[in-house]
Structure formats: structure tokens, C-alpha cells
């Protein structure tokens, strides 16, 4: 965020590449210590994770499926970061996005999946954006802290979803708090179905689907928006200095609203992958914490869409690898939650701990040259 004045102390590549890499190494070493402490072999664990997540098209299919979720939520957090806002509500916005997707898929008779996907994207974005717009409005107009309101909205979203699934959308006679199955016509093609016609064999069982392409497209759109449009310039200007932006005639209310609406829409879009692409019905807790992983992904990716893309794939790998670990060793899946916490800690909260010694080294090197 407030990195402008620090740039002259360090070359840009150190800021963009070196610091995240060092943070990642720190997080990985601590995770290795945790694995040793519970009596497992970290090298063996990494081997299992790599073969499990990247060693087969089945593994890749899951890795990319998770990565798709994290690209959407990571972009959501990143866009808000550019306007110096911390959107912790990606989880709730993605839940509401799921509600939008389910309504579009269940109540509209779609002739073809491609049209249904467009409709579902619209539904997901509208619901997610609306859920972010209320906290944004309260921040812009009433000064309530966006972090607290978005946390509260996560819980309210869970209650709304619970109510809708138990009392409204549950098919008659079903005990399960879940919506009916979506019709066959809205089934999204998986990577298996997309790649087989062009002669590439891909695992049939893996859930990665066409929404991966939507997520990659979203990365490009966000990049273009932030760095190639007037609006993006205004968002970044506002993020760097609110008073500066004010003098430049940029309305804080407008930027707060627009940035959060974009952010919420991106978080909502995640539902096209997990609800429409994978489960093909809306269930409780369909988001599985992906909204929060978006925070780690955005921090790791330095809020740049390309960084978010890479970090999302890294976390997709960790998720699938972690599932494999839980299957073959006594290491529970929660190891991934610990790694995620460490990544957030080192790339976010303890950023200065990594940065300050590095800056000193670079300053010393510069003095040595001069």
C-alpha cells in the first residue's frame, strides 16, 4: 500500500519478487518444522504433495479447480487493496453469489450451457456486488469501518443462505439443507470434455471446468481496468493518498462504492465454479473458506492480477496436495490452514520484518558502489 517512498531504497524487482519469495520460504520452513514436530518427514510430505497435485491430470484437475476459486477471491481482495480497503467479506459475497447462480440455474430454462454461464455470471456478480455495496455505502456515507461491517456481513450471509436452503430452496421431502439439482442443460463442460475433442486426454473425474477460462479472463480484465483505464488510475490514486485524490477531483464516495462493487462482483463470480461447475446444486458452506484464502492470495500476489494468478495456482496446489497428504499420512488437512496463516503473517502483517533488513542490505550495497 504505502510503498511509494520506499521504492528508492530497493530496486523494484526486490520488492515484487524477492520479498514474496523470502516470505514464502519462511512460511514453508515453519510449516516443515510443524510437520517434523508431529513426527512426519517433510521431504516425503512435499513429494506426496507434488505427485498428488501435479503428477497426474487428475491432480492438475483438482489443483486448477481450487485455483479457479482463489483467482476470483484473490482478485476481489486485490481490487479493494488498490483503493486501500480491506475486504474481508469475500466469503459472504461468494455465498451470496452462489445464491444468485442457483436462482439463475434453477428458475430460468436455459437452452445451452454457454448462455446459462453468461446468465450465471450476471447473477453471481449482481448478488456478490450487492452484498459488498451495503458495507461500501456504510463506509462511504456513514464512516463505519469496512473491515468490521464485511466481517458482520459474512455471518449475516451465512444466516441468509441457511434460511434460503432450509425454508425456501430445499426440495419437498428432502432432509438435506441444499437446493435441488440443476438441470442437465446448465452442466458446464469440464476440462476433460473441452480437451478430448482436440486430442488431449484429461482426467474425467477432476472438477476443473470452463470457468477456469473465465477466471483467467477476469485476471486480464482487472489488469486492464487497474492499469489502463481512468477509473483504475483513480482507484490507485485514491489508494495512495485520499487527500491527494480529493484535490485531483476524485470523489471518495464514488471510488469506495465502485471498488467494492467490483470486488464483490469478483468474489461472487467464484460461485460459477464451485456451485455451477462442481456441485451443480447449492449446499451449505459451499465456499469452504475460499473467500478468506483470497486474502493470502492477494497479499502473496502483491495485488497484481498476474501475481494473483500465480499465487492462486500455488494455493490450488497446496489445497490438492494437502488433501492427498491427509489421505496417505497422519497429517490432517488443517496443515493447509496453518500454511495459509503463515503466508498471511509473513507477506502481510510481518512484511516489515522481512523488508527492513533487506532495505539495509540494498542501502549498504549502493553506498559500496558510490
Partner 1 sequence: MDFLTIIQVLDSTVRLATPLLLACLAGLYSERAGIFDIGLEGKMLMAAFFSAAVAAVSGSVWLGLLAGIGSSLVLSGLHGLASITFRGNQLISGVAINFLAAGMTVLIAQDWFKQGGRTPSLFAGGRFEPIEFPFAEAVSGVPILGPVYSELLSGHSILVYIAFLAVPGTWWVLYRTRFGLRLRAVGENPAAVDTAGVSVVGLRYAAVAICGVLCGIAGAYLATALQAGFVKDMTAGRGFIALAALIFAKWRPWQAMWACLLFGLLQAVALRFQNIDLGGVVIPVQVMDALPYILTVVILAGFVGKAIPPRAGGEPYVKER
Q: Which residues bind partner 1 (CB under 8 A)?
A: 34, 37-39, 86, 88, 138, 142-145, 147-149, 151-153, 155-156, 159-160, 162-163, 166-167, 292, 295, 299, 330-332, 334-342, 344-345, 348-353, 356
**Cβ at position 158, least distance to partner 1 in Å:** 8
**Cβ at position 105, least distance to partner 1 in Å:** 23
**Cβ at position 172, least distance to partner 1 in Å:** 18
**Cβ at position 191, least distance to partner 1 in Å:** 30
Rounded Cα distance between 97 and 144, Å, is 24
Which CB atom, from 145 or from 360, has the smaller least distance to partner 1? 145
Handedness of CA 199, 312, 98, 263 (dihedral sign): negative
Per-residue burial over 162-174, b = 16 or more CB atoms within 10 Å of its CB, e = otherwise: eebbeeebbeeee
**Cβ at position 353, least distance to partner 1 in Å:** 5
Which CB atom, from 160 or from 225, has the smaller least distance to partner 1? 160
Which CB atom, from 159 or from 175, has the smaller least distance to partner 1? 159
Which CB atom, from 124 or from 344, has the smaller least distance to partner 1? 344
**Cβ at position 249, least distance to partner 1 in Å:** 27
As beta bridge partners, residue 209 has 190
**Cβ at position 140, least distance to partner 1 in Å:** 11
Which CB atom, from 36 or from 246, has the smaller least distance to partner 1? 36
36: phi then psi, degrees, rounded to nearest 5? -60, -45
Rounded Cα distance between 238 and 234, Å, is 6
**Cβ at position 343, least distance to partner 1 in Å:** 8
Which CB atom, from 243 or from 330, has the smaller least distance to partner 1? 330
As beta bridge partners, residue 121 has none
Which CB atom, from 279 or from 336, has the smaller least distance to partner 1? 336
Which CB atom, from 280 or from 351, has the smaller least distance to partner 1? 351
Amino acid at each position: 500500500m504505502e510503498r511509494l517512498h520506499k521504492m528508492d531504497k530497493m530496486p523494484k524487482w526486490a520488492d515484487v519478487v524477492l520479498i514474496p519469495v523470502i516470505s514464502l520460504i519462511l512460511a514453508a520452513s515453519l510449516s516443515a518444522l510443524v510437520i517434523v514436530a508431529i513426527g512426519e518427514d517433510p521431504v516425503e510430505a512435499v513429494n506426496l504433495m507434488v505427485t498428488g497435485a501435479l503428477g497426474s491430470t487428475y491432480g492438475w484437475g483438482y489443483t486448477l479447480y481450487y485455483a479457479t476459486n482463489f483467482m476470483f477471491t484473490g482478485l476481489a481482495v486485490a481490487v479493494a487493496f488498490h483503493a486501500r480497503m480491506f475486504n474481508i467479506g469475500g466469503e459472504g459475497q461468494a455465498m451470496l453469489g452462489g445464491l444468485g447462480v442457483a436462482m439463475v440455474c434453477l428458475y430460468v430454462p436455459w437452452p445451452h450451457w454457454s448462455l446459462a454461464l453468461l446468465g450465471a455470471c450476471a447473477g453471481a456478480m449482481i448478488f456478490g456486488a450487492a452484498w459488498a455495496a451495503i458495507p461500501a455505502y456504510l463506509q462511504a456515507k456513514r464512516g463505519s469501518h469496512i473491515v468490521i461491517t464485511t466481517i458482520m456481513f459474512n455471518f449475516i450471509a451465512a444466516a441468509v443462505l441457511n434460511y434460503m436452503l432450509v425454508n425456501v430452496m430445499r426440495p419437498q421431502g428432502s432432509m438435506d439443507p441444499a437446493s435441488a439439482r440443476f438441470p442437465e442443460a446448465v452442466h458446464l463442460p469440464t476440462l476433460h470434455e473441452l480437451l478430448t475433442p482436440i486430442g488431449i486426454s484429461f482426467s474425467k473425474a477432476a472438477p476443473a471446468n470452463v470457468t477456469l477460462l473465465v477466471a483467467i479472463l477476469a485476471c486480464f480484465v482487472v489488469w486492464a481496468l487497474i492499469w489502463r483505464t481512468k477509473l483504475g488510475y483513480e482507484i490507485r490514486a485514491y489508494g495512495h493518498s485520499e487527500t491527494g485524490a480529493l484535490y485531483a477531483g476524485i470523489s471518495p464516495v464514488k471510488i469506495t462504492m465502485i471498488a467494492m462493487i467490483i470486488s464483490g462482483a469478483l468474489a461472487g463470480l467464484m460461485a460459477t465454479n464451485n456451485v455451477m461447475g462442481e456441485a451443480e446444486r447449492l449446499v451449505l458452506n459451499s465456499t469452504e473458506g475460499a473467500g478468506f484464502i483470497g486474502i493470502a492470495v492477494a497479499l502473496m500476489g502483491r495485488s497484481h492480477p498476474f501475481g494473483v494468478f500465480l499465487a492462486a495456482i500455488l494455493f490450488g496446489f497446496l489445497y490438492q496436495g494437502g488433501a492427498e497428504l491427509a489421505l496417505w499420512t497422519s497429517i490432517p488437512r488443517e496443515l493447509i490452514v496453518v500454511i495459509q496463516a503463515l503466508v498471511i503473517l509473513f507477506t502481510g502483517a510481518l512484511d516489515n520484518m522481512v523488508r527492513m533488513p533487506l532495505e539495509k542490505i540494498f542501502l549498504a550495497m549502493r553506498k559500496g558502489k558510490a
